[in-house]
């Protein structure tokens, strides 16, 4: 396979180097820090996806490379959307990806009391005020990129009145949306985020951690930088859409008695072709039952990728290959598949399975007889050993490996053609049996007993080697083939995301047959089905009928189609 396509990282650093690591190194060299402190700050309102993996690898990776530490901090400032299920899933997925926050597990809600005190501090300094303007009007008064905002009539409120109203907001005297606390910065600022941004809103909602203690909650902007400062975070790394928030991040830290001075740095988020990486949309797919759940193998969630059979090493490798850039771009999914194949090629043992069986009868092989043949478990790893596979008079081969009237370049089975059956013998197709509709239901063949193991002593060559299973000894299975969840590389760009769903994203092959050793596969086990791809035993497996997910095909056939 050719090397994977490069993503738009113009800096084209060697793997493991990026502009943020350059900044961290420069800070260490200049003595501004001794070791870096980073954080990964998910909002627990959904499961983590592969975009988050980029942020996790960057933050935890920097901490590891420079002997610092990385905090896991739940950004839990919106109790109406956040759930314990998501908190548990996020912790599980970060660990699965191979990272450990040790004792550094935090929640923005741990700081609600401190944040509240700091809000009062701003009020006392004349730098925050309570605004009674209804939400819709507030929004309209912010202005646009070309027009300045309009000052609220409540902007001139005195400190005492502001303190009193803010305390009464906290005490629960007012309904949702009745008032907000705003920073008093500059309604004419070019940066809209500096036009007196909202710091606190009234929300009578129970919080998963603080229960009923609060009915006002800080905004993301008021919680984030201050949480970083409390935790002594040195490098607060986030995606580019927060670049415009940085002046506010800095303004707040400059105007509060913050215990440390973190800096914010922005990098380009991961976008993947044919994939949606937005928790809001992924939540909708789950809620509308367009997929079977957050761990549906078609989902770009870490839970979905795990169930599909993607190893965490492949995700880390993919993230390091795409690099960290300052400009947004979209990565080809072929690049992700490349990393998955690279890892599974090394780790997955080989097995034989026939997805769409066609019976093959060897006329000169005695009826009732069978034998055991040796099959190697891994061609590049002798230590993986070998196993026995049964061979008999009646076998199954893949339907697509036979053509009655083949075109010139078709070298697999057809009448009169001899091929090798992997680990077994040469067989020649003599005739076919058809049903009433004319479809081929059986191949009648002869074998050459002198080719046992797959080689002819007379040096005779065949052009194809096919996989197969013994009909009576094989076990039935369901195989789930996954195709991209969306039909266009930029799902939703036409305005309706759901209209771009791929109706063929899941293909269930219920009549597949597996070599008998696969009866012992446990959910999560990944093997290579020879000539077909990598497949992972699914949790839906029953002892009598295993279910396997195709993790990835051996080659990139979808792009060609
Ligand atoms: P979404 O847009 O999917 O809802 P989010 O940014 O709201 O994501 P958070 O839980 O706030 O989700 O994200 C936690 C961290 O992960 C943030 O620092 C965010 O910048 C980062 N992150 C989210 N999506 C991506 C992505 N596609 N690529 C890289 N980093 C991401
Ligand atoms: Mg966010």
In order of 11, 131, 150, 160, 201, the CA distances from 156 in angstroms are: 49, 10, 13, 12, 19
Residue nearest ligand 1's atom 2 by CA? 278
* pLDDT (0 to 100) of residue 14: 64
Ligand nearest to the CA of 43: 1
* pLDDT (0 to 100) of residue 274: 97
Residue 52 CA to ligand 1 center (angstroms) comes to: 6
Q: Burial, 362: exposed, middle or buried (Cβ in 10 Å; 0-12, 13-18, 19+)?
A: buried
- Give dist(CA 288, CA 409) in Å, integer: 46
- CA torsion sign, 379 to 382 to 387 to 390? positive
Question: Of 367, 187, 272, 334, which is closest to residue 282 (Cα–Cα)?
Answer: 272
* pLDDT (0 to 100) of residue 83: 87
- Tell which atom from ligand 1 comes closest to the C-alpha of 55: 30
Report the SS3 class of residue 516: helix
For the stretch 309-347, what's the b/e string if a residue is b when 16 or more beta carbons lie within 10 angstroms of its beta carbon? bbbbbbbbbbbbbbbbbbeeeebbbebbbbbbbbbbeeb
Specify the pairing of strand 394-398 against strand 440-448.
Answer: unpaired
Residue 51 CA to ligand 1 center (angstroms) comes to: 7
Report the SS3 class of residue 302: helix
Any ligand 1 atom below 6 A from CB of 284: no
Question: Of 358, 367, 329, which is closest to residue 240 (Cα–Cα)?
Answer: 329
Q: Are 333 and 275 in contact (CB under 8 A)?
A: yes
Structure tokens at 367: 């009826």
| Helical packing angle, 159-170 and 112-124, nearest 10° | 160
Q: Are 336 and 384 in contact (CB under 8 A)?
A: no
pTM assigned to the model: 0.94
Q: What is the DSSP letter of 520?
A: G
Report the SS3 class of residue 304: helix
Report the SS3 class of residue 462: coil
Q: How far is CA 289 from the centre of its chain?
A: 19
What's the whole-number average pLDDT of the chain? 95
The residues annotated as belonging to the active site are 43, 269, 279
- Residues in the chain with pLDDT < 50? 1-12, 558-561
* pLDDT (0 to 100) of residue 557: 58
Any ligand 1 atom below 6 A from CB of 42: yes
In DSSP terms, which residues pair with 351 in a beta bridge?
529
* pLDDT (0 to 100) of residue 13: 57
Residue 43 CA to ligand 2 center (angstroms) comes to: 6
């Amino acid at each position: 396979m050719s090397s994977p396509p490069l993503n738009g990282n113009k800096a084209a650093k060697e793997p493991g180097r990026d502009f943020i690591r350059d900044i961290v190194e420069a800070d260490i060299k200049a003595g501004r820090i001794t070791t870096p402190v980073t954080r990964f700050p998910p909002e627990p309102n959904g499961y983590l996806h592969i975009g988050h993996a980029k942020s996790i690898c960057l933050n935890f990776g920097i901490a590891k490379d420079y002997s610092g530490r990385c905090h896991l901090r739940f950004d839990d400032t919106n109790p109406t959307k956040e759930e314990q299920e998501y908190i548990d899933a996020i912790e599980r997925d970060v660990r699965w990806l191979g990272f450990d926050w040790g004792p550094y597990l935090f929640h923005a809600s741990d700081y609600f009391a401190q944040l509240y005190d700091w809000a009062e501090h701003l009020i006392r300094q004349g730098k925050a005020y309570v605004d009674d303007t209804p939400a819709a009007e507030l929004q309209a008064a912010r202005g646009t990129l070309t027009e300045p905002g309009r000052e609220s009539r409540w902007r001139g409120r005195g400190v005492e009145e502001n303190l009193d109203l803010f305390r009464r907001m906290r005490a629960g005297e007012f309904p949702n949306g009745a008032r907000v606390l705003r920073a008093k910065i500059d309604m004419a600022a070019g940066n809209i985020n500096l036009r007196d941004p909202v710091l606190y809103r009234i929300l009578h909602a129970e919080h998963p951690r603080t229960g009923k203690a609060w009915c006002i909650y800080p905004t993301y902007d008021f919680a984030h930088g201050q949480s970083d400062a409390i935790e002594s975070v040195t490098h607060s790394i986030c995606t580019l859409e927060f670049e415009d928030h940085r002046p506010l991040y800095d303004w707040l830290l400059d105007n509060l008695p913050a215990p440390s001075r973190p800096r914010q740095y922005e990098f380009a988020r991961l976008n993947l072709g044919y994939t949606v990486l937005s928790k809001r949309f992924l939540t909708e797919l789950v809620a509308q039952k367009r997929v079977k759940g957050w761990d549906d193998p078609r989902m770009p969630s870490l839970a979905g990728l795990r169930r599909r059979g993607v190893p965490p090493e492949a995700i880390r490798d993919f993230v390091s290959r795409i690099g960290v850039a300052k400009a947004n771009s979209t990565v080809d999914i072929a690049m992700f598949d490349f990393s998955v194949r690279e890892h599974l090629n090394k780790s997955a043992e080989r097995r034989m399975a026939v997805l769409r069986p066609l019976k093959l009868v060897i006329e000169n092989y005695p009826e009732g007889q069978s034998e055991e043949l040796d099959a190697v478990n891994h061609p590049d790893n002798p230590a993986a050993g070998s196993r026995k596979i049964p061979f008999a008079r009646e076998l199954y081969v893949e339907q697509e490996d036979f053509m009655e009237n083949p075109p010139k370049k078709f070298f697999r089975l057809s009448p009169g053609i001899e091929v090798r059956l992997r680990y077994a013998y040469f067989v020649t197709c003599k005739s076919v049996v058809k049903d009433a509709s004319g479809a081929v239901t059986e191949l009648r063949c002869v074998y050459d007993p002198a080719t046992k193991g797959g080689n002819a002593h007379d040096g005779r060559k065949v052009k194809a080697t096919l996989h197969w299973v013994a009909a009576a000894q094989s076990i039935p299975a369901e195989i789930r083939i996954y195709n991209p969840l969306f039909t266009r590389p930029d799902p939703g760009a036409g305005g309706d995301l759901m209209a771009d769903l791929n109706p063929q994203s899941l293909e269930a092959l219920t009549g597949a047959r597996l070599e008998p050793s696969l009866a012992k596969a446990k959910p999560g086990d990944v093997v290579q089905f020879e000539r077909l791809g990598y497949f992972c035993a699914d949790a839906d497996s029953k002892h009598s009928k295993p279910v396997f997910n195709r993790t990835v095909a051996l080659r990139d056939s979808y792009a060609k189609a």
